[in-house]
């Protein structure tokens, strides 16, 4: 969501700048955009306009790729319990996210859990971010999340196709007693 806000603000600034430029009459018919020594330099270097268009094309392609990435990170709002094509009951996805967060938070050494349900209605995927102590056995914690919490969630929702990605963030104690993210 934050990326979209910055994108909207950037668009508004560019729109305002373009409108102001047009309003001031910078682009007038019959008046050259580049004059004097600059014009002679550009004429002496035929590669100039090709490089300008290449840079503009690269910026446009990067912007398009960034925009397409915004739509791919879609968060599901509703989730079908069971087969969605068979007229299954739908529920708010945040309920499933809260259920797995509550399960994982109860495990020893886990400090905080953030979850969200992503993907599409036909291929949902649970994203889990686990903040835990540095002393925690990650193999055991990973096993418990995969074979305990996720299995319980899949069984409850009757969705064997529910996948998941778990990211771990470790916290360790500083000598001064303060905690910081590693």
Q: Verify that 109 and 123 share a domain, yes or no.
A: yes
By residue range, what is the domain housing residue 149? 78-181
Q: Verify that 42 and 91 share a domain, yes or no.
A: no
More confident residue, 34 or 113: 113
Q: Which of 18, 51, 72 is the last residue of a domain?
A: 72
In a 10 Å sphere around its CB, with 0-12 CB exposed, 13-18 middle and 19+ buried, how is residue 125 labelled?
middle
pTM of the model: 0.53
Number of domains observed in the structure of the chain: 2
Q: Verify that 34 and 123 share a domain, yes or no.
A: no
**143 three-class SS:** helix
Q: Verify that 26 and 43 share a domain, yes or no.
A: yes
Q: Verify that 93 and 167 share a domain, yes or no.
A: yes
Q: Are 75 and 118 in contact (CB under 8 A)?
A: yes
Q: Which of 52, 72, 92 is the last residue of a domain?
A: 72
Q: Verify that 98 and 144 share a domain, yes or no.
A: yes
Q: Verify that 64 and 109 share a domain, yes or no.
A: no
Q: Verify that 86 and 141 share a domain, yes or no.
A: yes
Q: Verify that 24 and 53 share a domain, yes or no.
A: yes
CB burial of 136-145 (b: ≥16 within 10 Å; e: otherwise) equals beeeebeebb
Give percent above pLDDT 90 in the chain. Answer: 15
pLDDT (tens digit, 9 = 90+) per residue, 78-134?
777 766 566 667 777 788 888 889 999 999 989 999 988 887 777 788 889 999 988
């Amino acid at each position: 969501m934050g990326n979209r806000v910055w994108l909207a603000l950037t668009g508004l600034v560019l729109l305002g700048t373009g409108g102001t430029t047009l309003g001031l009459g910078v682009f007038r018919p019959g008046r050259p955009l580049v004059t004097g020594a600059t014009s002679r330099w550009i004429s002496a270097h035929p590669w100039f306009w090709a490089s300008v268009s290449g840079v503009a094309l690269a910026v446009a392609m990067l912007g398009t790729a960034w925009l397409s990435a915004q739509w791919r990170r879609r968060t599901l709002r509703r989730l079908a319990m069971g087969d969605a094509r068979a007229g299954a009951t739908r529920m708010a996805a945040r309920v499933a996210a809260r259920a797995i967060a509550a399960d994982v938070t109860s495990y020893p050494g886990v400090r905080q859990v953030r979850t969200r349900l992503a993907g599409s209605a036909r291929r949902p995927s649970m994203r889990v971010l686990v903040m835990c102590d540095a002393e925690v056995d990650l193999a055991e914690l990973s096993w418990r999340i995969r074979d305990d919490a996720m299995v319980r969630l899949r069984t409850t929702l009757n969705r064997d196709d529910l996948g998941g990605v778990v990211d771990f963030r470790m916290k360790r104690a500083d000598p001064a007693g303060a905690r910081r993210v590693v």
